[in-house]
Structure 1
Amino acid sequence: MDSHRRPPISVFSVEDYYTQQAAPRPPLVRRKIGRGTQLMQLALLVFSLLAFCGAASEIYFLMKVESTLRATQDMIHEKAAAQKMISRPDFQDGPPKPSAHVTGLPVVDISPDVSLQWDYRRGLAFLHEVEYKDGSLVCSKTGLYFIYSKLQLGLTKCPKNTENSIFTHRVFKRHSTWNITIMDNIKNFCDTQGSSVWRGSSFVSGSFMLEKGDEIYISMSHKHLIRVQGDTDTFFGMFMVYKAQNE
């Protein structure tokens, strides 16, 4: 036997340096958006715009409803306050104090310089220690008086330009030879959008010291707006709250 044996040959698999690196990723390919996807996105955009418009319309409608309800509540409160002035004075606590309540008449003279005329004889109208004189209530005793006036208003055909549609409802006191305004109410009319028919009212009230002989009368700038339909729509009155000490 041969005593000189060759050692076994080791077989090694040597990989190249470059082959050990990771293989390069394939290039990204942009996916083309199909026509169906574009239509879907357009439909979603349209639906979103419709939803936004619907929400805006609903908010606008709610605001209009709220405004209408607020105006209606104001008119209800105004009418309720005015109705309290109609009842005749309570005579149970002693002799009645000077008081008067007169109701509306159809307007004949629409001149703003002429005071309104009133019915002081029929229906709810009455005079007690107060004289009626050509549209005025004449104070007979000095003291503190509560004075009130309500006008029911309306117009069947509003003008196209309503920017200057403003009326003035005033209460005057005539003392000897001079007149002063003691109350006034300045409001817009024909302010109802989208309608040629307008309905409204004006109410003023307050307490004032009057002397014997003072005259109280009502002036209205746009008399053609006044609507007289009954004793409870348009009226004017006063009653003594406190009598002067020297009377």
Structure 2
Amino acid sequence: MNNNNRYEYPPVFSVDATGHLPQQQHYHQHHPQMSAAGRMDPALVPCWTFPPARYHSKRRGCGGMTSAAGTLLIMVLLMVFAALGLGAYQIMKIQTELAQLKQELHIQTESRAPERLVGNPIKDPDQTKHSQAAHLMGQTQNIESNPLQWESHHGRAFTDGVVYRGGGLQVNETGLYFIYSRVDFLSKSCHFRDSVSHTVYVKRIDGSLMTLMGDRREGYCRVGSTEVWRDGSNLGSVHLLKKADWVFVNVSKPALMSKSPYNNYFGLFKLT
């Protein structure tokens, strides 16, 4: 068998770096080199290279930053400017409120100025002044209970800044006081000429006595009647008391007073 077959190879095209065909060469040349066995070695296959890979760099914006980084930077700047704007608004709001508060305080100060001009001192609300007041309730009296004795601790009775002792109230400050007293008389029999009196008086530090108020009742019952009669006396007015003054209540017939503690009472409180 004859092995002198000739092999034809397909044409090979070479291209440059831009991908164009500068020339077309047909490699039909056969080399006469023969192998030791008498065969014709095929021609060497030419080597070629593809166009080199082009390096496509990412598009970059100003300063070499990518578009995503630029967008993020813009968002951060917007947030910073928004925070600064909000802070400026809050500061302006606080300044406005402070200005309004100062204006209100100025108006209040001006409104109190006439009080200073006329000599009325402005009272400090933080200073607590001890009050001067007392309310005494009736209790069972003896036949000769003068002055009258009172209940000072139980029920609605109290003393505040005032001393109670021996039926009297002693004030600790000089000033105007409202003094009041009520007595209730109750009995089953009486005489035509009978009368009852109700008196409030003050005892000074030097021992002198002075009547502050008085009431006298005559003809308060019907002679010969078997029904229980009842009558009351009320006294109350403003008086100037001096420090250490004692105030007492006296009635002409203590035995005729009713036993109700709510119908018999005595008290005072300081006005100025």
Shift of 1:156: 1.4
> What letter corresponds to residue 166 of structure 1 in structure 2?
S
Match of 2:259 among 228, 231, 238: 228
Distance, in Å, in 2 between the alignment partners of 1:188 and 1:154 is 14
Q: Hey, what does 1:10 align to over in structure 2?
A: none
> What letter corresponds to residue 175 of structure 1 in structure 2?
R
Distance, in Å, in 2 between the alignment partners of 1:213 and 1:226 is 29
Pairing 1:143-158 to 2, within 5 Å after superposition: 143-158=175-190
Shift of 1:225: 1.2
Is 1:111 the equivalent of 2:141?
Answer: no
- With normalisation by structure 1, the TM-score equals 0.55
Q: Hey, what does 2:210 align to over in structure 1?
A: 180
Q: Hey, what does 2:154 align to over in structure 1?
A: 122
Q: Deviations over 1:190-236 (max 9, x none)?
A: 42366232101011010000011000000111111100223x21000
Is 1:100 the equivalent of 2:144?
Answer: no
Pairing 1:2-81 to 2, within 5 Å after superposition: none
Q: Hey, what does 1:72 align to over in structure 2?
A: none
CA contact (8 A) 1:147 1:208 kept: yes
Q: Hey, what does 1:239 align to over in structure 2?
A: 269
| Highest RCO, 1 vs 2 (Cα 8 Å, sep ≥ 6) | 1
Gaps of 5+ in 1: 1-93, 243-247
Sequence identity, in percent?
Answer: 29
Distance, in Å, in 2 between the alignment partners of 1:96 and 1:187 is 39
Distance, in Å, in 2 between the alignment partners of 1:107 and 1:189 is 23
Is 1:169 the equivalent of 2:203?
Answer: no
Shift of 1:157: 2.1
Distance, in Å, in 2 between the alignment partners of 1:189 and 1:132 is 34
- With normalisation by structure 2, the TM-score equals 0.50
> What letter corresponds to residue 171 of structure 2 in structure 1?
C
> What letter corresponds to residue 244 of structure 2 in structure 1?
G
Q: Hey, what does 1:133 align to over in structure 2?
A: 165
Distance, in Å, in 2 between the alignment partners of 1:221 and 1:189 is 15
Gaps of 5+ in 2: 1-127
CA contact (8 A) 1:189 1:200 kept: no
Shift of 1:96: 5.5
> What letter corresponds to residue 221 of structure 1 in structure 2?
S
> What letter corresponds to residue 237 of structure 1 in structure 2?
G
